[in-house]
């Protein structure tokens, strides 16, 4: 076994390993490649793979988050094929990644593990990582979802003079539409929970759109509530590499239009659309602090998976 730098020939293997370990956040190789190609210029990232007998059996990477950018904060992803546990592959990859970020005088590095993954949890805790946040992924059996039961929640939006349109209908390539979606996101993100100690960073429109316009974008299932010409709410479905599945993206409403049932109506509208197209299930993710959205999902029949826990390793004070 040896560690080497990642190459473009490794996308399929890395995507497979990533999907095994981070099983609730699957991405295919094409999605991973596009996201790498569009990675924000100011954010650092690098990836290595572990190879044994000509096969990629693990990978490790660091990256920086453009939404909470700090030049001295990093995120860690590690994955080792389950058949290769106990062979010190994860340790070798971890040491490679940490050695690579040390010259940048890091404040901390974070990593995620699902609570029912004792190998990964133990690996992080033995290296000084401490938990500080949780999120839940939840799954809905769309084939068992009854649109008629929830239809009144959609009709209430019409009664308020609101119109539901898809990004496809509005014009996904229209710069004015793109800008309005961005402005809506700026409003909604003000109240989106973030981990302790993190600060929201400014994200310019062009960079934001680059991160949204990826292969998984599903414009026909990206729904927006309009109050006249203003975009006031959204519930978004994205394509998934898993057969019969769509991923639920952001569901949110601008501050001026909250507590009017818009989020619930949008989610019902999106789920009804997905059922009509024959999708079997959807998976969503929410911070444990997002009590309102967790309650909506529970009402609709979403079933929670074990929590994903954010672990943080804090480094010493900066060098003088």
Confidence (pLDDT) at 189: 97
Confidence (pLDDT) at 319: 52
Average pLDDT, the chain: 96
DSSP secondary structure, 253-266, as one string: E-GGG-SSSHHHHH
CA dihedral over 313, 308, 18, 91, signed as positive or negative: positive
Query: What is the tens place of the pLDDT at every residue in 227-271?
Result: 999 999 999 999 999 999 999 999 999 999 999 999 999 999 999
CA distances to 29, 71, 279 from 300, rounded to whole Å, are: 32, 40, 16
Confidence of residue 99 (pLDDT cuts 50, 70, 90): very high
174: β partners:
none
Query: What is the tens place of the pLDDT at every residue in 27-49?
Result: 999 999 999 999 999 999 999 99
Is residue 262 within 8 A of residue 162, CB to CB? The reply is yes
- CB contact set of 73 (below 8 Å; sequence gap of 6+): 64, 65, 106, 107, 108, 109, 110
Q: Average pLDDT of 195-207?
A: 96
Confidence of residue 56 (pLDDT cuts 50, 70, 90): very high
Confidence of residue 316 (pLDDT cuts 50, 70, 90): confident
Q: What's the topology of domain 2-106?
A: Aminopeptidase (3.40.630)
The DSSP call for residue 84 is: G
d(CA 319, CA 118): 35
Task: Tell me the CATH architecture of domain 138-304.
Answer: 3-Layer(aba) Sandwich (3.40)
3 state DSSP class of 204: coil
Count of C-beta atoms within a 10 Å radius of residue 43: 16
d(CA 166, CA 197): 36
Confidence (pLDDT) at 318: 57
The DSSP call for residue 119 is: H
DSSP secondary structure, 135-173, as one string: EEEEEEEGGG--HHHHHHHHHHHHHTTEEEEEHHHH-TT
What percent of the chain shows pLDDT beyond 70? 99
Tell me: pLDDT of 317 over 80: no
CA distances to 137, 141, 143, 244, 261 from 278, rounded to whole Å, are: 22, 12, 8, 7, 26
Residue 84: CA atoms inside 13 Å, Cβ hemisphere, count? 21
CA dihedral over 48, 95, 40, 248, signed as positive or negative: positive
Is residue 188 within 8 A of residue 253, CB to CB? The reply is yes
Query: What is the tens place of the pLDDT at every residue in 120-160?
Result: 999 999 999 999 999 999 999 999 999 999 999 999 999 99
Could you give the residue range(s) of every CATH 3.40.630.30 domain in the chain? Answer: 2-106, 138-304
d(CA 137, CA 128): 26
Q: Average pLDDT of 285-306?
A: 97
**pTM of the predicted structure, to 2 decimals:** 0.94
Is residue 245 within 8 A of residue 282, CB to CB? The reply is yes
Phi and psi at 134, nearest 5°, equal -140, 150
Q: Write b or e for each residue in 201-212: b if 16 or more Cβ atoms lie within 10 A of its Cβ, otherwise e.
A: eebeeebbbbeb
What percent of the chain shows pLDDT beyond 90? 98
Which among 200, 199, 197, 195 has a CA at the least distance from the CA of 288? 195
- Burial class for 310, CB neighbours closer than 10 Å (0-12, 13-18, 19+): buried
């Amino acid at each position: 076994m040896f560690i080497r730098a990642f190459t473009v020939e490794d996308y399929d293997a890395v995507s497979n390993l990533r999907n095994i370990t981070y099983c609730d956040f699957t991405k295919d190789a094409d999605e991973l490649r596009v996201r790498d190609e569009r990675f924000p210029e100011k954010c650092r990232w690098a990836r290595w793979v572990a190879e044994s007998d000509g096969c990629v059996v693990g990978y490790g990477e660091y990256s920086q988050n453009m939404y909470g950018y700090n030049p001295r904060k990093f995120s860690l992803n590690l994955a080792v094929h389950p058949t290769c546990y106990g062979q010190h592959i994860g340790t070798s990859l971890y040491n490679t990644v940490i050695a690579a970020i040390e010259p940048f005088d890091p404040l901390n590095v974070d990593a995620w593990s699902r609570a029912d993954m004792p190998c990964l949890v133990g690996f992080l805790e033995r290296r000084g990582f401490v938990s500080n946040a949780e999120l839940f992924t939840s799954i809905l059996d769309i084939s068992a979802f009854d649109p008629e039961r929830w239809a009144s929640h959609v009709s209430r939006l019409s009664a308020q003079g609101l119109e539901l349109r898809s990004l496809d209908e509005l014009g996904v390539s229209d710069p004015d539409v793109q800008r309005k979606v961005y402005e809506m996101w700026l409003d909604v993100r003000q109240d989106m929970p973030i981990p302790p100690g993190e600060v929201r960073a400014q994200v310019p429109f062009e960079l934001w759109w680059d991160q949204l316009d990826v292969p998984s974008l599903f414009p026909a299932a990206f729904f927006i509530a309009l109050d006249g010409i203003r975009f006031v709410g959204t519930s978004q479905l994205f394509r998934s590499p898993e057969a019969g599945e769509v991923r639920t993206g952001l569901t949110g409403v601008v501050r001026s239009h909250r507590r009017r049932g818009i989020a619930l109506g949008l989610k019902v509208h999106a789920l009804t659309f997905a059922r009509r197209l024959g999708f079997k299930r959807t998976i969503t993710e929410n911070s444990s602090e997002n009590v309102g959205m967790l309650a909506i999902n529970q009402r609709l029949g979403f079933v929670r998976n074990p929590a994903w826990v954010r672990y943080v390793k804090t480094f010493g004070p900066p060098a003088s």
